[in-house]
Amino acid sequence: MNEYTPQYQRASRLVTSRKVKNEENTAVRQTILIGLAAVIFLILSVVFIIPGVVRFLGGLSNSPTTTEQTDVPPQVPQFSLPADATSSATINLSGFTTPKAKVYILKNGSEAKVVDVDDSGNFSTDIDLDQGENHFSAYAKNGDLSSATSEQFVVIFDNQKPDIEITEPTDGQSIQGKKNQNVTVKGKTKPGSKIYLNDRLFFLQDDGTFTTTQRLENGANSLSFKVIDRAGNETEKVITVNFQE
């Protein structure tokens, strides 16, 4: 048995040899494919990927910020609208536009103030008012470029107290008879105001005239009027009416 190798052992060695050879061939092919893929990736990187990244980074470093753009006008200023009437001679105007621009505020058609805009695009300034209507608008400027002018709005400066005229009843008037216990009250004051009679609100006509009623009690009746105009100015007036059933 030592001198001769059985046939099945020779066949087993042959199969093993072929298997090893096939595995070596497969490893060689995989190595070649990996090498080709690496070469292709290197070519694509050189031709496309690296130049694209360079262009992108260059664009980021060279792109202008909002305030550095020289070909786009700044945004039209937007105001946080104040009250439409005030009794104060000075008002605060605030709003927003393009960051770091300058806002040119126009009052009654003329330039009244130039305001610097902060890094967030906000601006705020105090400005003096003229008695009566003050018409405001503004435009923004960034370098040599200007925005369009904003829409105009009006602020009324009025520090005059409103007058109250009571035409019925008259101060000190005496009224008799139960049928007259609900007296008609008539008068006139500044249009657009609020008017109260003994702390009861009632409404004016567009021209400032008013008509209401008040129930009287026996004896002296105080009719207390208070008027508050749109600017916040107040006037009070008291008349006395005597009533007997």
- What would the pLDDT profile of 151-185 be if each residue is shown by its tens digit? 999 999 999 999 999 999 999 999 999 999 999 99
Tell me the C-alpha distance between 132 and 108, whole Å: 11
Mean pLDDT of 183-193: 97
Between 3.30.930.10, 2.60.40.10, 3.40.462.10, 3.40.50.300, what CATH number should domain 164-244 receive? 2.60.40.10
Tell me the C-alpha distance between 45 and 203, whole Å: 80
Query: Does domain 78-157 bear CATH number 3.10.129.10?
Result: no
Residue 243: what residue type?
Answer: F
pLDDT one-digit tens code per residue, 212-226: 999 999 999 999 999
For 2-16, 41-55, 65-79, which range has the lowest pLDDT when averaged over its residues? 2-16
* Residue 68: band (very low, low, confident or very high) from pLDDT cuts 50, 70, 90: very low
Tell me the C-alpha distance between 166 and 208, whole Å: 12
Residue 132: what residue type?
Answer: G
Whole-number Cα distances in Å, 17 to 11, 23, 24, 103 = 10, 10, 11, 89
Token pair listed for 167: 């035409």
Three-state DSSP state, 144: coil
Tell me the C-alpha distance between 218 and 243, whole Å: 5
Q: What pTM value is reported for the model?
A: 0.64
